[in-house]
Structure 1
Amino acid sequence: NMVVWQDRRAESVTNRLQDKSEIFEQKTGLVLDPYFSAPKQAWIRENVTKQGVVTTSDSWLLHQLTGEFVTDVSTASRSLVTDLDTGEWDRELLSHFDLQDEKLPKILNSDEIAGVTRHFGGIMPVGGLIVDQQAALLAEKCLEVGEAKCTFGTGAFLLANTGKRAVRSSAKLAASFAWRTELETAYCFDGQVYTAASAVRWLKQMGFINAASELDIKAASHHDGIYSVPAFAGLAAPRWRPDVKASFSGITLSSEPSHFILAVLQGIAAQVAELVDLVESDMGSALKTLRVDGGLTQSAVLMQSVADLTQRTIEIYPSQHATPLGAAALARVASKSGGWIKDSVIEWAPSHVFEPKWRSEQAQEFRTAWATAADSAL
């Protein structure tokens, strides 16, 4: 049994700690929200079991492979109980969740060997430890300050490299370790769209499409005044409202299924555009391009909407497997007992590039109308 990241049951835990929210933000760089792992761990202890060890899936898998109980600093920094400056567990924050007596994994650098496994024949070292979105950031070679990517999976996650020192976001983005190796450390800002492919799955369940491959075929060419706030699991930055429900506005008797499909895709793109604005505001510089990966990058309608609403060039990563390729790059560093990350990341060229087709005035008009719809959903 596993509690996934979209599960909101730990809201009961975070609600009672709201008076401590500023402490969490300053120490961890994260917003106090059930999205992260420590509230889920506390909820399991309160409502499910006091037995055994409750941990994240990476630690469980590494234990099955090697017998060790470890995690890496990028994964730990997504917990709400790790100090962003030191990369160590914070005893005060653990006590707020009543987790101070829990057995916790040892935090390793991303290029450390976690242990050895015999599961694949012979003795094999296990290394290349990094949380999934940061792995994609690495694979897409966002190695310099201000370089950013967005992964379109179950949700959509925009990450931007913020450099060697920890900084906190003034726009309520999440701040985390991107990676830490023997030779280098990188931090990142992270903005989330909670439902992307999961919103497409809803379109399928409702009978608007039979499969995601039909999105571009069945989407309308114009939204016809329909705006969607696809907040099927709430809204993240900058609103952080897990209680918000999805909504459609502007529906008339002439509205067709194709308009709903386009509205959902444009609603996802509008949230990504908001995140781009927040990143640029925090960093004080504009993103010239946005690199993207994930299954939904196969939808040209969605990618064009992202280009139009962000008014940025969109570069499609040529593989749907950016996350494992990022981990593989770190495994190379680990296997060589050190080295620079840039020498281990595979060179790549975009499989497709989308340039904005909308005028900036048209994009702003749409985004203003969408923001009004989002405010109404609140």
Structure 2
Amino acid sequence: MNGAVGGAARGASHSGPVLAVDQGTSATKALVICPERGVIGSGRAPVHPRHLPGGRVEVSPEELYASVLASGNQALAAAGEPVAAVGLANQGETVLAWDPATGAPLTEAIVWQDRRAADLCEELAAHDDELKTLTGLPLDPYFAAPKMAWIRRHLTRDGAVTTSDSWLVHRLTGAFVTDAATAGRTQLLDLESASWSPAALAIHGLRDEPLPEVVGSDRHVGTTTAFGGELPLTGLLVDQQAALLAQRALTPGAAKCTYGTGAFLLAQAGRSPVRPTTGLVGCVAWRLRDRTDYCLDGQVYTAASAVRWLTDLGVVAGAHDLDRVAAQVPDAGGVVFVPALAGLAAPWWRSEARGTLSGLGLDTTAGHLVRALCEGLAAQVAELVEAAGTELGSPLTELRVDGGLTASAALMQTQADLLQMPVVVAELPDATALGVGAAARLGLGASLAEALPPEGKPSAVYEPRVSPDEARDRRAAFRAAVG
């Protein structure tokens, strides 16, 4: 392994395939991507986060690492040919403590959905405005810094405490780095300089922490032998920003929403930092070619995880079953579902909120519950889209979408209805892996035009089927339920 951090990988061709690994919340997905032939191999390894009392969510760090190796090697075996480099995407706000000398984890990984640091956020409430100005992020246990401080207060003072990407990269290459976009998810990064903020570190009690170097998403950070032979690791990017890149959202106002474990809306904001006033988050989109782009960000904490909740209750057999069950009824039958099963994020930022179901009757069926879930998810995303338009000075005209739940026609049609705009489903659902694959190719010296996935035809386009008045009434009912 080589821990050196350098520029573009030397001696490696940017015209060959790359291995792109998306280490996610419930699974790690890997693609072998060829610039001419597209995806030529894929792999997937499940991840099993544990949902514990008190809003705690943990996962074994070793399981995360094993899933990276398993999915990556599976994709390489399927492709049957060598690759030029590796790119790695990560969950963003998931953190752990680990020993930089040995690479051994010292704690479990605390997943981004975890709420245990809520009390610490309450203690720091007086610093909320200062932190928003410094970092673009509101005080909330969703972000990494409160979790890092919780680990230091309750679990261990040893080793380093970082987001999961730094540990995974260290295990793969020996380097101690994080990319600028992932660092921007900590609430410790100065939004103006895209470097660590001494003031934010002091507020969180993390002033003396060993911190990884903040690098661009297209940096050659080292080499790994984890996938056979020596391969340069040349692409690093947090998951949602990787999907934004794959969706070719390169100009201000271009937006996407990824429907995975949660649902995440990002809108490109250009080269200047943004500090939203609508409840959205302003953060780093990426640093590529030594230039930093910024974006607006809005979050729905539970999307596919809410579907899994319905699955565990026996309402559906899984995400693939949503459309079949939804088709049993024409609408939600007056049922309103606020799927805040892990709190409400943007634009409300109510970490104490919990999910609610109202309007239930003896005639309520599984179909009504599924329709109400689709309505609740789509209504939350609609709030984020509206806020993004306000921040950007003009409303969005379409929403590009990706992620596993975009396979549900019931959800996507509901989304188009409530947005009153077209919903354009990506040709390939694995946008995060495609985006970090593009970053890896940039790290090999390719141009942006060469690195980005081709602009394929959408797999589906959903147009609104209801009137603006009906959409407004349905969104008002959701807002009332949130209130």
Is TM > 0.5 for Structure 1 vs Structure 2? yes
Alignment pair present for 1:249 and 2:372: no
Aligned match for 2:266, one of 140, 159, 163: 159
Output the CA distance in 2 between the equivalents of 1:119 and 1:229.
43
Q: How does 1:162-201 map to 2 (within 5 A)?
A: 162-182=269-289, 184-201=291-308
- Structure 2 residue aligned with 1:36: 143
1:309 to 400, 411, 418: 418
| 2:312 corresponds to | 205
Deviates more, 1:132-141 or 1:213-222: 213-222
Residues 182-201 of structure 1 deviation map (CA, whole Å, 9 limit, x = unaligned): 25431100000111011101
What is residue 230 of structure 2 aligned with on the other side?
123
Determine the C-alpha separation between the residues in 2 that align with 1:102 and 1:282. Answer: 35
Equivalent residue number for residue 434 of structure 2: 325
How many residues get paired? 373
Structure 2 Cα separation of the partners of residues 326 and 168 of structure 1: 25
2:265 and 2:298 in contact (8 A); partners too: yes
Which consecutive residues of structure 1, in runs of 5 or more, have no partner in the other structure? Answer: none
Does 2:323 align with 1:227? no
Q: Residue 317 of structure 1: CA displacement?
A: 0.9
Partners of 1:213 and 1:74 in 2: how far apart? 32
The answer to which of 255-264 and 271-280 deviates more is 255-264
Q: Could you tell me how far apart the structure 1 residues matched to 2:318 and 2:217 are? A: 37
Paired with 1:56 and 1:308, the residues of 2 have a C-alpha distance of 37
Inter-partner Cα distance in structure 1 for 2:133 and 2:290: 26
2:167 counterpart residue number: 60
Return closer, same or farther for 1:212/1:121 CA change in 2, 3 Å cut-off.
closer
Q: Which runs of 4+ in 1 moved over 6 A?
A: none
- Cα deviations by residue, 1:204-247 (Å, 9 ceiling, x for unpaired): 11111122111111113211111111110111111100101111
Structure having the larger proportion of residues in strand: 2
Unpaired runs of at least 5, structure 2: 1-107
* Match of residue 6, structure 1, among 92, 113, 126: 113
Please say if 1:374 is aligned against 2:482.
yes
Alpha-carbon distance between aligned partners in 1 of 2:450 and 2:394, rounded to the nearest angstrom: 27
> For 1:342 and 1:22, how far apart are their aligned partners in 2?
39
Q: Is the 8 A contact 1:143 1:342 kept in 2?
A: no
After superposition, give the CA deviation of every residue in 1:110-164 in whole Å (9 maximum; x if it has no partner): 1111112233333321111111000000001111110000000010000000011
Provide the TM-score with structure 1 as the length reference. 0.96
The farther-off stretch of 192-201 and 120-129 is: 120-129
- Give the 3-state SS of the residue equivalent to 1:113 in structure 2: coil
2:394 matched to 1:285? yes
The residue type equivalent to 1:229 in the other structure is: V
* 1:11-30 Cα distance to aligned partner (Å, 9 max, x none): 11111000000000001111
Q: Which amino acid aligns with 1:266?
A: E
In structure 2, distance between residues paired with 1:362 and 1:119: 54
Greater displacement, 182-191 / 76-85: 182-191
Determine the C-alpha separation between the residues in 1 that align with 2:284 and 2:118. Answer: 24
Q: Is the 8 A contact 2:216 2:290 kept in 1?
A: no
Q: Percent identity?
A: 47
1:69–1:106 contact (8 Å) kept in structure 2: yes
CA distance in 2, matches of 1:282, 1:188: 11
Match of 2:243 in 1: 136
Secondary structure of 1:231's counterpart equals coil
The residue identity in structure 1 corresponding to 2:242 is A
For residues 60-117 of structure 1, give each alpha carbon's deviation from its aligned partner in whole angstroms, at most 9, with x where no partner exists: 1110111110001000011001001101111111111111111110000111111122
Q: In the alignment, what sits opposite 2:383?
A: 274
Residues 249-258 or 80-89, more deviating: 249-258
Equivalent of 2:220 in 88, 113, 118: 113
Which has a greater percent of helix? 1
Counterpart Cα distance in 2 of 1:275 and 1:111: 29
Provide the rounded CA distance (Å) in 2 between the counterparts of 1:120 and 1:250.
53
Contact in 2 for aligned 1:74/1:130 (Cα 8 Å): yes
Please give the alpha-carbon distance, in whole angstroms, between the structure 2 residues aligned to 1:218 and 1:167: 42
